[in-house]
A = this chain, B = another copy of it.
Amino acid sequence: MIDARIGLDAMGGDNAPRETVRGAVDAVGRDPEIEVHLVGEERSVWAEIEAAGGARDRIRVIHASQVVGCSDAPTDAIRKLDSSIRRGAELVQSRAVDGLVAAGNTGAAVAAATVVIGRLPGVQRPGIAVTLPTAKGHSVMCDAGANIHCKPLHLYHYGIMAAQYARKILGKEHPTVGLLNVGSEEGKGTGLVQKTAALFASASSDLNYAGNIEGNDVFTGQCDVIVCEGFVGNVVLKTAEGLYEVVAARLKELAQGVAAASGEERATSISDLLKRFKANMDWAEYGGAPLLGLNGLVLISHGRSDARAIRNAILQAARSHRTQVLKAMTSDLAASGTRSLA
């Protein structure tokens, strides 16, 4: 029985439509209860489905004649009425699908989804929640770049919604919520951060607010949820990605030197070490980042996504739908008593 129908912008991302289609074929092969609706230029999409082989009884193609490219303005996603990202958002809005995965132009996806799908009651600005690998497992950081003009209420809602996401999707029973700041003591930071801290401090006891968190603790896993404005979240996420790549490359270079100076057997041990290291920190494992605050499920994937990243995002979208996480967020937002502030 099909219990999750997931839309996919087949034309989004650096490697579309080849990798998006492969990811979709792989996803339906792995989860017998999902159906994937590929949105894009139908001839190219069908050609890729042929090329990918595999089962296709739970794959549908919805034609869209236009594409919003990576260098297009976010507003192009609204203006281009027959673009794959806009058509995908319409499928969510009409409930033809239970969730959408998009790996292209993030600004365009946010714009199309916000205009077409609309927001949850009380929410003013959607935020992107990314899952980060930490020393203790995983944490969620919101916002990773959807909203660079944040108000305290926006950040407060990110905390409420991301906590529910951490509960339902990451399985944290009572997730702690930290506010990213330049110091751990109370009263630190900009006016935005200080006013947000006051909102969190006055929140109902259901929210496990842990106060300020500094950059050092983003990857230690000290908090399950990390709240920050989009500019900061975007820069932090991309800096961490870049640093990780530099470290991995340097490590490989050093390993080649050590291996060359050792025997063949030693080289094997080092190569084994590097493989384990890579698997542990691999971003593509964590699939897509949900756009929290929309009245529908939309997951954003990395622009560089390959088939595996797309597959993981589709499977994660299906899991998110099954947990009814949006319903739980709506109820938490209502209980937060901030609708009157909006």
Contacts and interface: CB of A to CB of B under 8 A. Distances in A.
A120 interface: no
Interface residues of A, number: 56
Interface stretch (A2-10, A47-55, A245-253, A328-336): A245-253
Counted per complex, copies of this chain come to 2
A300 to B, nearest CB: 14
Contact of A231 (B71, B189, B266): B189
A61 interface: no
A216 interface: yes
Interface stretch (A13-21, A163-171, A274-282): A274-282
A262 interface: yes
Nearest to A251: B277
A242 interface: yes
Contacts of A180: 235
A134 interface: yes
A181 B250 CA distance: 26
| Secondary structure dominating the interface of A | helix
B242 A220 contact: yes
A180 to B, nearest CB: 6
A43 interface: no
A201 interface: no
A215 B232 contact: no
Interface in A198-255: 214-220, 228, 230-232, 234-247, 249-251, 254-255
B244 A247 contact: yes
Interface in A94-141: 134-135
A215 B236 contact: yes
A215 B190 contact: no
Contact of A239 (B135, B219, B263, B276): B219
A241 B266 contact: no
27 contacts: A135-B246, A145-B182, A148-B190, A189-B231, A215-B234, A215-B237, A215-B242, A216-B238, A216-B242, A216-B245, A218-B239, A219-B239, A219-B242, A219-B243, A219-B246, A220-B246, A236-B236, A239-B239, A240-B243, A250-B281, A257-B276, A258-B273, A258-B276, A262-B266, A263-B265, A269-B269, A270-B270
Given A218-B239, A258-B273, 12 more contacts: A182-B235, A215-B236, A215-B242, A219-B242, A240-B240, A243-B244, A244-B247, A247-B281, A254-B276, A254-B277, A257-B276, A270-B270
Interface of A: 71, 134-135, 145, 148-149, 180, 182, 185, 189-190, 214-220, 228, 230-232, 234-247, 249-251, 254-255, 257-259, 262-263, 265-266, 269-270, 272-273, 276-277, 280-281
